[in-house]
């Protein structure tokens, strides 16, 4: 049908580290993100162990501040965003029929900046004052020199700026590839849903990420050169700069996984994606709106136009609804195959829905005043980021692992992992809604034994360990599947898009030849034509 | 390329329209500047796309590995960390970064000669 090219030869670790092949840069990024995921997850277990019962058992309040800061920062700057972009870096060129990314050295530089930033941030633990402790948002004046003195906070600022710059470079290369290196027949209106989702992700990344780098530069200057934000309106200005990055990044961590889920749903329902044009238009509307909602995080400051930001935030429900409708309509009437990628895709749809619907609550100022800075908000964004994005990431892992390695992940371990994660996420984060509604503040190491918060905290802690067991199942699956390889073949899922037309793993320049491209799903077109042929 | 330019142009207009709504509603300067910058950057990308042709993948002239990105990356990381740890680290980082740029130039020259 398309290619007889030889897969990538195995190379040593030195050559692997220096490679500028987009697939190896992406694999390096994903592998490092997994390391940071395990590290940041371990910090979460420490926090949940501390909160299992009232009183201080394991850590001091100062250490707890460092734990939640590096846990949140690690997960957002070093895990979910890089994972989302690593998927794009690996699969976008394959899906659009390109031989490589537009600027391979730039993508590799992006990886090294990200790695340097991540290690800088974590190295703060080795300084005498400890790591950064002003939360993942580092609001001013809490992040100023007086409230957070010490080198650890400086290293946090430098680490964030480096990691975010690195990811902006990676996004720029993906976007250039999408715009300038598509195969001749691959017009922009024939790009697969994942490519469109990544396209909008990159558009948000290159627009909003530089603003955070500027904010970090100004914060560093404020700490060492003199007042920048220590002025009337200064702290609010910092928040504007931060959230101009901080809200679009939520969709940077959502769109690629939505794209994955749309493709997984179509592949495992044995159907063409329902409403392809509507999905793309809704992604477009979503992207524009996502740039306009950032100050809903600032309702409680009293310094923003609450009506405007509430209107834009609530409007997000419309494109989100269209996207859900398209994916669910794809499954209706399809011959659904409940393999591990599909299970995680269904997990994504159900858990992200809870996160999305509670987002409407925190997008309404009167309700937000009640739950602001409580565990309700923690539950909301963990349903979106863990229940949503990480479920999507695992769907992508099970779906594309055979393509990237030539070996299948163990199905039964995938099912065990799915059950553990689904139960664990709900057991951990649902009680947090109740805790927040009852007034438990976030970012606290202790709570009163008489406040009626103990049971729900104990449940959340138990759930965190169930999640850890699920993650352990994934790590075991990776190790077992790579050591005792079950060959995957070129197209184990009967895929629809171009990446399944080449070898597993793909060769250095991806394709020897391409099939005809007449829609976003060239392989499905071919199969349908073969079925129709007499 | 025109459809891609259209996408970005429309996105710029969409963000610009929301900026206009915010302006009518009466808002502080920072959000408006951020909005306007986002709309303008989308317009610039749209203009670039409208004017530049689609490139087919050229014959590959660069190698499979490169020392330049890790060297430049390490240089930037050490220089930035030097802001917290002192001038000595800034200088080491700058040297490493400059060496990386030199390697990049050499790699590009070698590729051109190939």
Q: What is the mean pLDDT of residues A270-277?
A: 95
Of the ranges A154-168, A306-320, B41-55, the best mean pLDDT one: A154-168
**Which region among A367-371, A406-410, B28-32 has the lowest average model confidence (pLDDT)?**
B28-32
* Residue A185 to residues A182, A191, A193, A515, Cα–Cα distance (Å): 8, 10, 17, 10
Residue of A nearest to B76 (CA): A113
User: How close are the terminal C-alpha atoms of chain A, in Å?
Assistant: 19
| pLDDT for position A267 | 97
Q: Say what the pTM is.
A: 0.93
Q: What is the mean pLDDT of residues A218-238?
A: 93
Name the average pLDDT for chain A.
94
Q: What is the mean pLDDT of residues A131-153?
A: 95
Looking at the fold, whether B107 and B78 belong to one and the same domain comes out as yes
Residues 91-130 of A with CB under 8 A from B: 98-100, 104-106, 108-109, 111-113, 115-117, 120
User: Does the distance separating the beta carbons of A305 and B26 come in below 8 Å?
Assistant: yes
Q: Which residues of chain B neighbour A189 with C-beta distances below 8 Å?
A: 3
User: Does the distance separating the beta carbons of B64 and A20 come in below 8 Å?
Assistant: yes
Q: Give dist(CA A201, CA A417) in Å, integer.
A: 28
Nearest to A89 by CA among A74, A73, A108, A112: A108
Mutate to test the interface with B, among A32, A101, A109 (most CBs of B within 10 A): A109
**Model confidence at A2, in pLDDT bands (50, 70, 90)?**
very low
User: Does the distance separating the beta carbons of A184 and B3 come in below 8 Å?
Assistant: no
Q: How many structural domains are present in chain B?
A: 2
User: How close are the terminal C-alpha atoms of chain B, in Å?
Assistant: 31
* Percentage, residues of chain A above pLDDT 70: 98
pLDDT (tens digit per residue) in A468-521 = 999 999 999 999 999 999 999 999 999 999 999 999 999 988 998 899 999 999
Whether pLDDT at B25 is above 80: no
Residue B62 in any domain: the answer is no
Cβ-nearest to A113 among B49, B56, B76? B76
Q: What is the mean pLDDT of residues A119-144?
A: 96
User: Does the distance separating the beta carbons of A105 and B68 come in below 8 Å?
Assistant: yes
Whether pLDDT at A214 is above 90: yes
Contacts of A252 (CB under 8 A, 6+ apart): A81, A84, A85, A201, A204, A205
Phi, psi of A374 (to 5 degrees): -110, 180
Q: Which residues of chain A neighbour B28 with C-beta distances below 8 Å?
A: 303-304
User: Does the distance separating the beta carbons of A237 and B8 come in below 8 Å?
Assistant: no
Contacts of A42 (CB under 8 A, 6+ apart): none
User: Does the distance separating the beta carbons of A17 and B84 come in below 8 Å?
Assistant: no
User: Does the distance separating the beta carbons of A109 and B73 come in below 8 Å?
Assistant: yes
Q: How far is the alpha carbon of B4 from chain A, nearest alpha carbon, in Å?
A: 7
| pLDDT for position B58 | 54
| pLDDT for position A4 | 42
A366 touches B at CB < 8 Å: no
| pLDDT for position A3 | 42
Q: What is the mean pLDDT of residues B12-18?
A: 84
Phi, psi of A275 (to 5 degrees): 65, 45
Which residue segment(s) compose the domain that B27 sits in? 2-51
User: Does the distance separating the beta carbons of A203 and B11 come in below 8 Å?
Assistant: yes
Q: Is B76:A113 a contact under the CB 8 Å cutoff?
A: yes
Contacts of A476 (CB under 8 A, 6+ apart): A413
| pLDDT for position A436 | 96
Whether pLDDT at A532 is above 60: yes
| pLDDT for position A1 | 42
pLDDT (tens digit per residue) in B4-14 = 788 788 888 88
Q: Give dist(CA A130, CA A122) in Å, integer.
A: 10
Q: What is the mean pLDDT of residues A54-65?
A: 96
* Percentage, residues of chain A above pLDDT 90: 89
* Residue A288 to residues A294, A400, B25, B32, B42, Cα–Cα distance (Å): 12, 29, 19, 15, 11
Q: Is A441 helix (H, G, I), strand (E, B) or coil?
A: strand
In chain A, where are the structural domains located? 21-532
**Which region among A392-401, A413-422, B103-112 has the lowest average model confidence (pLDDT)?**
B103-112
Using alpha carbons only, what angle is made at residue A424 by residues A422 and A426, rounded to the nearest 5 degrees?
Answer: 70
CATH superfamily of A21-532: Cytochrome c oxidase-like, subunit I domain (1.20.210.10)
Nearest to A330 by CA among A415, A251, A261: A261
Residues 144-203 of A with CB under 8 A from B: 151, 154-155, 158, 161-162, 166, 179-182, 184, 187-189, 203
**Which region among A58-62, A117-121, A455-459, B26-30 has the lowest average model confidence (pLDDT)?**
B26-30
Cβ-nearest to A189 among B3, B28, B54? B3
pLDDT (tens digit per residue) in B32-78 = 887 788 888 888 888 887 887 666 555 555 668 999 999 999 999 99
User: Does the distance separating the beta carbons of B14 and A284 come in below 8 Å?
Assistant: yes
| Tokens read off for A387 | 């229940």
Core vs surface per residue A203-232: b (16+ CB within 10 A) or e: bbbbbbbbbbbebbebbbebbeeeebbeee
Cβ-nearest to B30 among A98, A240, A287? A240
Core vs surface per residue A45-59: b (16+ CB within 10 A) or e: bbbbebbbeeeeeeb
User: Does the distance separating the beta carbons of A308 and B21 come in below 8 Å?
Assistant: yes
Whether pLDDT at A405 is above 70: yes
């Amino acid at each position: 049908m398309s290619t007889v090219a030889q897969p990538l030869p195995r190379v040593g670790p030195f050559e692997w580290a220096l490679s500028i092949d987009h697939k190896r840069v992406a694999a390096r990024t994903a592998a490092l993100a997994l390391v940071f995921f395990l590290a940041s997850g371990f910090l979460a277990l420490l926090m949940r162990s501390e909160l299992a019962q009232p009183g201080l058992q394991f850590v001091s309040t100062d250490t707890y501040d460092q734990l939640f800061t590096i846990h949140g920062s690690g997960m957002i700057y070093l895990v979910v965003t890089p994972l989302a972009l690593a998927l794009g870096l690996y699969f976008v060129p394959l899906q659009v029929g390109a031989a490589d990314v537009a600027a391979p050295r730039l993508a590799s530089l992006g990886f090294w900046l990200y790695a340097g930033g991540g290690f800088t941030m974590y190295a703060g633990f080795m300084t005498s004052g400890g790591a950064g402790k002003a939360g993942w948002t580092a609001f001013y004046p809490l992040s100023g020199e007086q409230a957070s003195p010490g080198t650890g906070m400086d290293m946090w600022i430098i680490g964030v700026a480096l990691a975010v710059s690195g990811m902006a470079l990676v996004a720029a290369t993906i976007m250039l590839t999408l715009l300038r290196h598509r195969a001749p027949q691959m017009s922009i209106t024939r790009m697969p849903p994942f490519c469109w989702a990544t396209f909008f992700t990159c558009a948000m990344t290159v627009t909003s990420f530089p603003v955070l780098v500027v904010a970090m530069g100004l914060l560093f200057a404020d700490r060492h050169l003199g007042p920048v934000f220590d002025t009337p309106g200064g702290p609010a200005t910092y928040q504007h700069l931060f959230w101009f990055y901080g809200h679009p990044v939520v969709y940077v961590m959502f769109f690629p996984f939505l794209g994955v889920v749309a493709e997984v749903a179509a592949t495992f329902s044995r159907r063409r994606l329902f409403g392809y044009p509507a999905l793309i238009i809704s992604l477009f509307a979503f992207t524009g709106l996502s740039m306009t909602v950032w100050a809903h995080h600032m309702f409680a400051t009293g310094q923003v136009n609450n009506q405007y930001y509430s209107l834009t935030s609530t409007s997000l429900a419309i494109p989100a609804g269209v996207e859900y409708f398209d994916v669910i309509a794809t499954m209706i009437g399809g011959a659904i195959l409940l393999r591990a990628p599909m299970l995680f895709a269904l997990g994504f749809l159900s858990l992200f829905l809870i996160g999305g619907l509670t987002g409407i609550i925190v997008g309404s100022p009167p309700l937000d005043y009640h739950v602001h800075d409580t565990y309700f908000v923690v539950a909301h964004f963990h349903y979106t980021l863990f229940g949503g994005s990480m479920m999507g990431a695992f769907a992508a892992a099970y779906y594309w692992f055979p393509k990237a390695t030539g070996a299948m992940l163990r199905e039964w371990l995938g099912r065990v992992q799915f059950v553990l994660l689904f139960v664990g996420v709900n057991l951990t984060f649902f009680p947090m809604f109740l805790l927040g509604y009852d007034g438990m503040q976030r970012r606290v190491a202790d709570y009163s034994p008489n406040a009626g918060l103990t049971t729900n905290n104990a449940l959340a802690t138990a759930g965190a360990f169930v999640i850890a067991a699920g993650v352990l199942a994934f790590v075991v699956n990776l190790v077992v599947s790579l050591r005792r390889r079950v060959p995957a073949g070129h197209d184990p899922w009967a895929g629809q898009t171009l990446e399944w037309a080449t070898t597993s793993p793909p060769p250095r320049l991806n394709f020897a030849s391409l099939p005809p491209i007449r829609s976003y799903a060239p392989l499905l077109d071919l199969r349908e034509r073969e079925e129709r042929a007499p | 390329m025109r459809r891609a330019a259209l996408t970005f142009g429309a996105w710029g207009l969409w963000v610009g329209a929301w900026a206009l709504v915010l302006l009518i509603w009466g808002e502080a300067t920072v959000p408006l500047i951020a909005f306007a910058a986002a709309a303008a950057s989308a317009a610039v990308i749209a203009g670039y796309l409208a004017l530049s042709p689609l490139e087919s993948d050229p014959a590959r002239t660069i190698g499979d590995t490169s020392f330049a990105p890790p060297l430049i990356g390490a240089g930037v990381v050490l220089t930035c960390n030097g802001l917290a740890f002192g001038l000595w680290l800034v200088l080491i980082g700058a040297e490493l970064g400059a060496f990386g740029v030199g390697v990049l130039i050499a790699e590009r020259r070698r590729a051109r000669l190939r």
